[in-house]
Each structure stands twice: as C-alpha cells, then as structure tokens.
Amino acid sequence: MKPFAVIFCTVAVVALLLLVVKAGEIAPLTSLPPALVSEERIDESVSVVNQWLRKGWSDEGLEPAELADDLTVYRRLSLALHGTIPSLEEVTAFKADTSTDRIERWLLRMLEDSRFSTYFADRIERVLTGVDPGQFIIFRRDRLRDWLSDQLAMDRPWHEMAADLIAADGLWTSEAASNFITAAFIGGEGLDENELAGRTVRAFLGQRIDCAQCHDHPFDSWKQQDFEGLAAFYGQARVTPGGVIDRPTEQGEPTVYRVIDPGEEEGRLVEPHVPFNEEWSDVSGSRRQQLAAWVVHPDNRRFERAISNRIWGLLFGRAWHDPVDDLAHPDEDVDDLLDVVGREFRRHNGSLKFLIRTIALSDAFRLRSDVSWADEDLYSHMSREWAVFPLVRLRPEQMIGSMYQAGRIRTTDQASHLFVRFGKLTNENDFLKEYGDAADDELLQQSGTIPQALLRMNGRFTRGFTETGTFSAAGQIMRHSGDDESVVQNCFLACLTRMPNDEERDFFVLQLQGAEKSDTNTDQNVEDGVDTAVDVARPRHQVVRDMYWVLFNSPDFSWNK
C-alpha cells in the first residue's frame, strides 16, 4: 500500500507540472485580476503628475520616447515591487488579459501580494538602519523587517510609521519599531544620539546633515547648533533590559544632553530645538514624540518630498533628485515634481501603495528605455528631463531572484512548497556573498565587475538554473511546448518577459532543428590531405540549455529596461 501511495503521489505531482505547458502555450494557472471599481481608480492624481511632466518636456522642447509595450512595463513593476521578474505562469496569464487597463489592475494585485510587502520592507529597512550588523541581540533586524512588512501589507500611513519608529518604546523583540533606535546602540556607551539625529533627517527628510555635527554645513543652511538641537531630542532615550525607554536621571531631573567640544573637559548643555517651525513640535509627550510630530507635520514639505523621491528611486532605479538623501530645501515659491506628487500623497492619507501606483502609472514610468537616434547630447537631455526611461543595472538580489524564477514555470512565492522557498533563500544568500551587494546605498549606480560577469556566465547558479531536468523550466518548455518556435518563444518569455524578435526566433529555431539531425563540421584528414565531413551529434537539451545561458547573460536580462 505504501509503495502504491508513493507512486500515486509522484505521478500526481509530475502530471500537475506537465499541465503547466500544453500545445505550445503555458496554461495560465493564475486567475486574472478583477475589474477596477470607481473607488480604486486614481486617474485624477495620475493626470496631475502627467500634466506637470508634459509641461516640462514641452518647455524643454523635447519629444518623449514612445510608450513601452505592456510586457516591458509589467517586468519593470515585478522587478521593482517583488525583486524578481514575473514567472512564466504569470506572464502567460498577463498576456491572456486583453483589457485596456491591465497594467493598473495587475499593479493592484502585485501590491496585495506578500512578495511586495516582504521585498519592499527589506529596501526600506536598509534606508532606516543601513547594513551594519549592530549589537548582537540588542538590534533585531529581522524583527524590524517583519514589522515593516506588516505595516506595508495593511497600507498603514507613512507618517504614522515614521512617528512610531522615532518615538518607539519597549523591547526590540516585541515592539519591533524600537529597533530603529537600538540600531544606534554602541556597547557600553549606550545610544549614539548623533547617529540617530543624522539618520532621522536622512531617512525621513531626505537631507544629509551629518557634517553639521562638527561645523556649519559648507553648502547648505544647516548649522552645527541645528544638528545638536535635533540630537538632544534623543537625550532621554535609554536601552534597558526591559527595552527602549525615555527616563529622567537618578536625581529625578530631566535627562540633559551635553556636548563636549574639542579641548574642553566639561560638556555644555544643549536643549532640544528644531531648526525651523518650532510650533510643529509643540505637543505633549516625550522629547522623541515631539521630534516625531515635527518631522511628520502636515506642513513639513520636506517629509513628503523625501518619501516621494525615495519611492520614485525604488521604482525607476534612479531618484528624481540624486543623491536621494541630499534634497535641497524646498523653494517657497516654486513647486517641482516632488511637491506635485507629495501633495497627492498627503491628500490620500500618506498611503505608500497610492504613491507607488501614482508614480508607476505616470507617463515617465511607461516610456521606452531605448530611442531610435544616436544623438548623445539629445539622449542626455532626455535622460535629465525623464523623457526616456533610465537604464539601471539590476541589484544583486534582483539578479539572483530573476535567475531563480526563470528556472521555474510556477511562481515562487509564499504559496510555494517549503523546499522551493528554502531553496530560493539559500541560493539568494549564497549568491549575494559571491556577487557582492551595494551596501546601504540603495540607489548607488554601479558598473558591473568582471567577477560578477564571470559568476553569471560560469557560476554554479547559472549551471543549476539552466538545467533541462523534469522539474526545471527549461526542461518542461523543451518537452511540452510543441513545435520549435513555441520552445523559443517560451524561453524568451520565461527569461526576458518578452517575445523574441524575428532574427532571434529564426536563429534559435534553426539551432533546434539542427539538433534533431547531425551537424556537419569540416575536419582535416591528415593521411590524404582531403577535407572530410565529420558528423557531430548535438543533443536537443544542450541547445535549449545554451539558449537559456545566452538569455541569462544578455543585457536584456541584467538591466531594468
């Protein structure tokens, strides 16, 4: 009975897998997203952003690039929101959706997918705390990441999340938001108020004031006293065995913040103060609660501009204003795109999902990344004005996530088998160790290195994901796609989320047709000096595996185009 059960289960699993590909098409196991209801539409906000963009292009005398096809936009969204290309299963379902608003409907589905909250939580967590490991036990990066993921899933307003992070109390395991504070814990020295002040302004206001810690900012209006006043808001914070608390000194007096100047023995007292609009912090509660109120105040344009710029960067791979944490002080008389987007963001209660949708549905995000002319100056001008989609290399986790997903027909997500998810996690961790990461600068533009290229070409990851076994994508496509043209088409859809062009299709179809026969090579007959034909058999599975290898190492795979 047991052997029969094993055989039955094995046959059932194989049969399910084989149902994925039939008659040259991938069966769309994913259902289509439902129709949009009127309350879900954000046409008005998107129109406001597009009007600003189009006016800018017109003022610059620019004709923007043509709109990219929907599959290209779908791939961009998947990379930005899930950290991977879409699966062949998803691509086939998307292609089967012929509605005119499919991008908007699929975008909504992607934002409700647990892959979004998980991946975006990791990106935001790096913005908040960097990548330094922090003090063991005191700082729990995993708990902070899980907390962020939960907040993103429920679409909690960004200003509420930011206020919690700045003013959080409690144990870093049960009150996970407090890990924003404990990330600045330095052994026996306690919390580093200077680190917290600098990180708060960078993460939530998009401005770098760290150099004002020692002297007035040489290029901005930040003064040393501004930095010290902000750091003083963290002067009451303490890390105790019971968690993060704000407490007075043992004498019962409020905890003070002192700065010891070079050459001085005694520190000078610094009272908490903000550099502008003090009335925004005039609320009851702890000093950190007062600081949080100032940071997220509805009139603080820096707050909405910073998150708008950050989300723009995470979607495009390049921020509207670069560097992302060096925004200029907003002009009181002139609005730029960050003000336009930021106002819509505020108007919709600080919803990050709304902000993502607004940017992703804008004209700028849907433009092509290539142009038909070779005028370098014109291209640079278009790039500066966002009249063409920027080409950016995939981040390391996007690279391995895409390779892993391309190696499977079915979508790899929380519904996948435990072994599949464990395999993905293991491969990602191993790949990142070998490939290298971009540290805590999420939007740092880096050139690919020779070791990275060699890892993609010859590494064990590429060898594993291009195999043509029974359960691999390449193997299933090869065995069950039908004719040779369908094999080529499905390989391109699985790896590049696009159809092959005529030249690519004809080339690989010819390779597959030749694989069923004997290729003819010319070899020199040493004895009589006559060229003779030598038959070299090339297995079909090797042709498919080589095609996968070529696609993995193509520019289309490693860029966000």
Tens-place pLDDT, residues 524-536:
443 444 444 344 5
- The answer to whether residues 266 and 397 belong to one domain is no
Q: What φ, ψ does residue 239 adopt, rounded to 5°?
A: -105, 120
Q: Find how far residue 138's CA is from the centre of its chain.
A: 27
Taking CA atoms, 440 is separated from 131, 330, 396, 437, in Å, by 5, 26, 13, 9
The answer to whether position 94 is within a domain reads: no
- The answer to whether residues 442 and 555 belong to one domain is yes
The answer to whether position 485 is within a domain reads: yes
- The answer to whether residues 415 and 534 belong to one domain is yes
* Domain end marker among 252, 277, 295: 295
The answer to whether position 139 is within a domain reads: yes
- Mean pLDDT within 426-438: 70
238 class by beta-carbon count within 10 Å (0-12 exposed, 13-18 middle, 19+ buried): middle
* 139 compared with 270, residue with greater pLDDT: 139
- The answer to whether residues 398 and 288 belong to one domain is no
Q: Which pLDDT does position 49 carry in this prediction?
A: 97
- Mean pLDDT within 235-242: 88
**Tally of CB atoms within 10 A around 165:** 26
* Domain end marker among 262, 295, 328: 295
Tens-place pLDDT, residues 272-315:
999 999 999 988 888 999 999 999 999 999 999 999 999 999 99
The answer to whether position 262 is within a domain reads: yes
Q: Which pLDDT does position 333 carry in this prediction?
A: 65
- Domain range for 558 is 393-561
- The answer to whether residues 290 and 398 belong to one domain is no
For 211-258, the three-class secondary structure string (H helix, E strand, C coil) is HHHCCCCCCCCCCHHHHHHHHHCCCCEEEECCEEEECCCCCCCCCCEE
* Domain tally, the chain: 2
Residue 7 banded pLDDT, cuts 50, 70, 90 = very low
- The answer to whether residues 119 and 268 belong to one domain is yes
- Mean pLDDT within 329-344: 86
For 7-59, the three-class secondary structure string (H helix, E strand, C coil) is HHHHHHHHHHHHCCEECCEECCCCCCCCCCCHHHCCHHHHHHHHHHHHHHHHH
As a whole number of angstroms, the distance between CA 188 and CA 462 comes to 46
- Mean pLDDT within 156-168: 97
The answer to whether position 93 is within a domain reads: no
Does the pLDDT value for residue 418 go beyond 50?
yes
The type of residue at 346 is R
Q: Which pLDDT does position 202 carry in this prediction?
A: 93
Tens-place pLDDT, residues 247-257:
765 555 556 67
Q: Which pLDDT does position 465 carry in this prediction?
A: 79
Contact yes or no for 220/329 (Cβ under 8 A):
yes
Share of the chain above pLDDT 70, in %: 80
- The answer to whether residues 168 and 281 belong to one domain is yes
* From 41-45, 104-108, 130-134, 145-149, the region with the lowest mean pLDDT: 130-134
From the list 329, 309, 333, 304, the residue with the least C-alpha distance to 219 is 329
Tens-place pLDDT, residues 368-408:
998 876 688 898 999 999 999 999 999 888 988 898 899 99
Q: Which pLDDT does position 396 carry in this prediction?
A: 87
* 24 compared with 84, residue with greater pLDDT: 84
**Tally of CB atoms within 10 A around 54:** 14
- The answer to whether residues 425 and 277 belong to one domain is no
- The answer to whether residues 142 and 252 belong to one domain is yes
The answer to whether position 128 is within a domain reads: yes
The whole-model pTM stands at 0.87
**Mean pLDDT score of the chain:** 84
Q: Which pLDDT does position 233 carry in this prediction?
A: 92
- The answer to whether residues 130 and 270 belong to one domain is yes
Does the pLDDT value for residue 511 go beyond 50?
yes
Q: Which of 346-355, 396-405, 470-479 has the highest mean pLDDT?
A: 346-355
* Domain end marker among 248, 266, 295: 295
Contacts of 253 (CB under 8 A, 6+ apart): none
As a whole number of angstroms, the distance between CA 422 and CA 29 comes to 23
Taking CA atoms, 225 is separated from 221, 301, 317, in Å, by 11, 22, 35
Contact yes or no for 392/80 (Cβ under 8 A):
no
The answer to whether position 512 is within a domain reads: yes
- Mean pLDDT within 174-196: 89
Share of the chain above pLDDT 90, in %: 54
Contacts of 15 (CB under 8 A, 6+ apart): none
Q: Which pLDDT does position 329 carry in this prediction?
A: 77
Residue 28 banded pLDDT, cuts 50, 70, 90 = low
Tens-place pLDDT, residues 535-548:
455 788 999 999 99
The answer to whether position 54 is within a domain reads: no
As a whole number of angstroms, the distance between CA 514 and CA 51 comes to 54
Does the pLDDT value for residue 136 go beyond 50?
yes
Does the pLDDT value for residue 10 go beyond 70?
no
